Structure 1
Amino acid sequence: MMRELEAQLAGIVGEGGLQQGGGSEYSVDGVVPGLVAFPESAAQVAELVKVANANGLKVVPYGGGTAMGLGMTPERVDLVLSTKRLTDTPHDDRRDMTLSVGAGMTLSALNARLAEDNLWLPLDPPDPERATIGGLVAADQSGPLRHGLGTLRDHVIGMKVISAEGKLVAAGGRVVRNVAGYDMCKLHIGALGTLGLLVEVSLKLAARPQANAIVLAKLSSVADAEPLIAAVLDSSLEPVLLELVSGTACGAATAGLLPDGAVVAAGFAGNGQRVAWQAEAFAALVASQSLQLLASRSGNEAQTAREALAEVHGGDSADVVLVASVLSSQVAELLTRAAALSEPRGVAMGAASHAGKGLARLFLRGEEQALTEVTHAAREVVVERGGSLIVAKAPPKLKPLLNVWGAPAGDLAVLQAVRRTYDPNETLNAYRHATAVRGAA
């Protein structure tokens, strides 16, 4: 039976389009897939999913692999569906500032292509050379620029997905406009492909800024960050990024571009004169609070510093990565409390936060029992403040102990009902999302 099924799948993608899943390259939390497929078109994806769904196979989509640590560990992976060959550009209207790309195109490849016309997709997640557009949408990944330039929810205007039944479904459109009705694109952003496998994304582009600058302020302690961040948010400044990083997160990941300790970074982009004025105004705020001005960088140096700040959020060297959402006024306190919870347990902690948006990542390294204790204690701190905390990365054997997605959201039942409607067999990324129902057929 399996040989016949494998032959059927191979017939869809052609020679070289299907391989045995042995090895770790496409494993998910250590679960090695039975097969890996490399479709070249949406039609091939549709046929693969249709066959998988009809035969009870569990399918996991795979882009660049940069966010595969997110979610619960799957019980089994029958078929990994790689999007690496889905890199076409079926619609390109740069005059209208829109573009449609295959889900497998990487962010760096897209922006290199757009640079010819002085355009870009203003996102800066970690590892843009590997991160695919489809993967970024599925995992809802962004970076420091989210503060002033938005997230994928602001840039995605349409998409095409393959349903669990193997049907091509279009959502949104190719033009920037507001239309009546529910925005179906929003459902797919962050859904990990559980409502349909992304094959094409339509994007709203932006003109590259004329100038950019980053100003760094060194803090005596993380607690010093809150007055400075509040002052920036209450001012007329319009930073495109406002970051607070601390501890070991500021070490090797930034290749010496940032010092160890606590740092607030403010970035500005746009008209040259306005960027220069804003950088000077931020430096004045730093001085007014008796903080140390580390550096003010512009041009290519600012670009390098911004990329370093984005890479900090990857947390590659951490054993556990926690992502907390709180008020911007609570970020500094959260980082201080988390450090106090970590140190006595022998856990090394670093942190990077989109401070102006209240989103903080905690990077933990230590023994398993201590990591478990710190995770639960940090979640209590966050929940007490009305926030939420998820585990974005952890060793597979720890995940069941950490409650990866946290307490069920109030709308979980509604979201599970939506998922059952779209994928009643949980064929797509089974078990991994917060809406998963263990034991699904």
Structure 2
Amino acid sequence: MTYEIANKLETIAWEKVEPIWQKKIQGAIAIQTPPSCLSFPKNQESLSEIIKFASEKRFSVLPCGSGSKLRWGGLVKDARLVVSTQHLDRIIEHAVGDLTVTVEAGVKLADLQKLLSQSHQFLPLDPAYPESATIGGIVATADSGSWRQRYGGVRDMVLGLSFVRADGQIAKAGGRVVKNVAGYDLMKLFTGSYGTLGIISQVTFRLYPIPEASQTIVLTGETNAIAAATQTLLMSGLAPTAAQMLSGSLVNRLEIGKEIGLAIRFQSIVESVKEQIGQVESVARQLGLKTSSYCDRDETNLWQKLQQITRVPSSENAVTCKIAVRPNAASKILEQCDRITNNQGAIAINISSGLGQLHCQHGEINQIQKMRSLCQEHQGFLTILEAPISVKKQLDQWGYTGNALEMMRQIKQKFDPNNIFSPGCFVGEI
């Protein structure tokens, strides 16, 4: 098999794969038997041919980009062939006047942001591993980040995409304009599908102008006061681009204080940012909360450090999770998280959506189970993203309790009837 595929396209036999790639892949599969090959197609046509070949031979495929999120989600039951899109890295079209851009799946977000900044535009995504994360991986995992407060999630920014089907055919959905209504909304379906329906090859996004000014204010103090400040913010006319409640352990690691916090970022014209910061400071004084203000490089460092702490494993035994709760229960979740994890867990929750990230330094099974139960008690969920294989084999990574599992299976059957894409990775071991 190795020889046959290698003769087809840009493919490396497993024994010649770099150790760093081997480690990433082994952390994503359920069995010890490694894949036979790792393939790096250089264009959409090569990717199509590889998948067509795999389909004919019934080889299971593990899709990825740079591999930064290969360990997210469930363990793949079998992976005969790993296909990376990181060499599909062309900028297809940047329509500056239309505020849209079309790129191949292997383009790194960091490189795209540099290009867009030359036109004073940006893509408001703040994913984990921002320097290495590729566009395809970001869309496949629906990894948006702190800007969700103002701009929405990944699915809200995708205008169109191309993907390679299970039979190797290239399909397209959506378009390259903001007002596009043609066809089924496959963009939302593929966002967060974890590579189980097909391999994303190109994506078109809506863009936004880079704000003139930016400043962040962090409020810290007693839990009820932070909850009151959050409600005041939500009911006001203020328009933050990011707003997250922070657990006491996270605030402590950010070296801001020891009680729970509320980080609020305003990005607009100078006068607007100044006025909104002033209003938040007034609320903080009324509630007896401490404030810390950040701008320029200090602000950038703050959000980068917050992301690093909550979304990147600090050790081989660490566990990172995506959580969701009712927004009005966020302060209770933060407080109880510190108790459950003995102040070893860091958690940040978006004040509007209730979505958040949880990082546990040691990742004990009972702690994760208690946190999952706590989230479910508040009409939420806890999904394990990265964790040691031993933890993933003992816990259901998704913890799904909804009623759409049968529909998900039917969709999987329609798109991938032979179950070649990431088998076992998704909810219900789809």
- What is the TM-score with the length of structure 2 in the denominator? 0.92
**Any residues of structure 2 matched to 1:291-440 within 5 Å, and which?**
291-293=289-291, 295-317=292-314, 319-343=318-342, 348-366=344-362, 371-437=364-430
Deviation at 1:175, TM superposition (A): 0.8
- Distance, in Å, in 2 between the alignment partners of 1:19 and 1:62 is 17
For the 8 Å contact 1:219–1:264, the answer to whether it is kept is: no
Shift of residue 115 of structure 1? 0.9
Q: 1:260 to 1:85 in 2, by over 3 A?
A: farther
TM-superposed deviation, 1:278:
0.6
Superposed structure 1 runs of 4+ greater than 6 Å apart:
none
Closer/same/farther in 2, CA of residues 144 and 404 from structure 1, 3 Å limit: same
**Which residues of structure 1 form unaligned runs of 5+?**
none
| 162-171 or 351-360, which deviates more | 351-360
Letter in 2 for 1:264: L
Mean alpha-carbon deviation: is it higher for 88-97 or for 268-277?
Answer: 88-97
Alignment of 1:225 with 2:221, yes or no, is: no
Provide the residue aligned with 1:273 in structure 2: 271
After superposition, the C-alpha distances for 1:361-392 in whole angstroms (9 at most, x for unaligned) are: 222233x7xx2212222222222222122112
Letter in 2 for 1:312: I
Q: 3-state SS of the aligned residue for 1:267?
A: strand
Q: Secondary structure at the match of 1:428?
A: coil
1:18 alignment partner in structure 2: 12
Change (3 A) 1:180 1:13: closer
Alignment partner of 2:118: what SS?
helix
Look up the SS of the partner of 2:352 in the other structure. Answer: helix
Post-superposition shift, 1:219? 2.0
Verify the 8 A CA contact 2:124 2:151 in the aligned structure 1: yes
1:159 partner letter: L
Could you tell me whether the CA contact under 8 Å between 2:248 and 2:261 is conserved in 1? no
**Residue in structure 2 matched with residue 283 of structure 1 by the alignment:** 281
Q: Deviations over 1:70-124 (max 9, x none)?
A: 2111223211111111111222211211111010111110000111110110111
The alignment of Structure 1 onto Structure 2 pairs a total of residues equal to: 420
Deviates more, 1:153-162 or 1:306-315: 306-315
Classify 1:364/1:224 alpha carbon distance in 2 versus 1 (closer, same or farther; 3 Å): farther
Question: In structure 2, what is the equivalent of residue 107 of structure 1?
Answer: 109
TM-score normalised according to structure 1 size: 0.90
- The one-letter code of the counterpart of 1:324 is I
2:225·2:288 contact (CA, 8 Å) conserved in 1? no
Structure 2 unaligned blocks of 5 or more: none
Question: Do the aligned partners of 1:63 and 1:82 also contact (CA within 8 Å) in 2?
Answer: yes
- Answer yes or no: is the 8 Å Cα contact 2:142–2:192 preserved in 1: yes
CA distance in 2, matches of 1:428, 1:226: 43
Distance 1:117 1:268 in 2: 21
Give, as a single letter, the amino acid of the residue that structure 1 aligns with 2:87. R
> Is contact 1:92-1:99 (8 Å) kept?
yes
Give me the identity figure in percent: 26
**Partners of 1:315 and 1:296 in 2: CA distance:** 25
Task: Give me the whole-angstrom Cα distance separating, in 1, the residues matched to 2:50 and 2:105.
Answer: 16
The one-letter amino acid paired with 1:203 is: F
- Please tell me whether the aligned partners of residues 28 and 68 of structure 1 are also in contact (alpha carbons under 8 angstroms): no
Q: Does 1:243 align with 2:237?
A: no
Q: Secondary structure at the match of 1:356?
A: coil
Indicate how the Cα distance of structure 1 residues 160 and 180 shifts in structure 2: closer, same or farther if over 3 A, else same: closer
Note closer, same or farther for the CA distance 1:204–1:304 as it changes in structure 2 (3 Å cut): same
CA contact (8 A) 2:375 2:381 kept: yes
How far 1:260 moved relative to its partner?
5.2
Asked if 1:126 corresponds to 2:124, the answer is no
CA 111–433 in structure 1, closer or farther in 2 if over 3 Å, else same: same
Distance 1:348 1:69 in 2: 22
Q: Which residue of 1 aligns with 2:216?
A: 214
Larger CA deviation: 321-330 vs 240-249: 240-249
Q: In structure 1, what is the equivalent of residue 71 of structure 2?
A: 69
**C-alpha distance 386-280 of structure 1, shift in aligned 2 (>3 A):** same
Would you say the 8 A contact 1:125–1:311 is kept in 2?
Answer: no
How far apart, CA to CA, are the structure 1 residues paired with 2:414 and 2:173?
A: 17
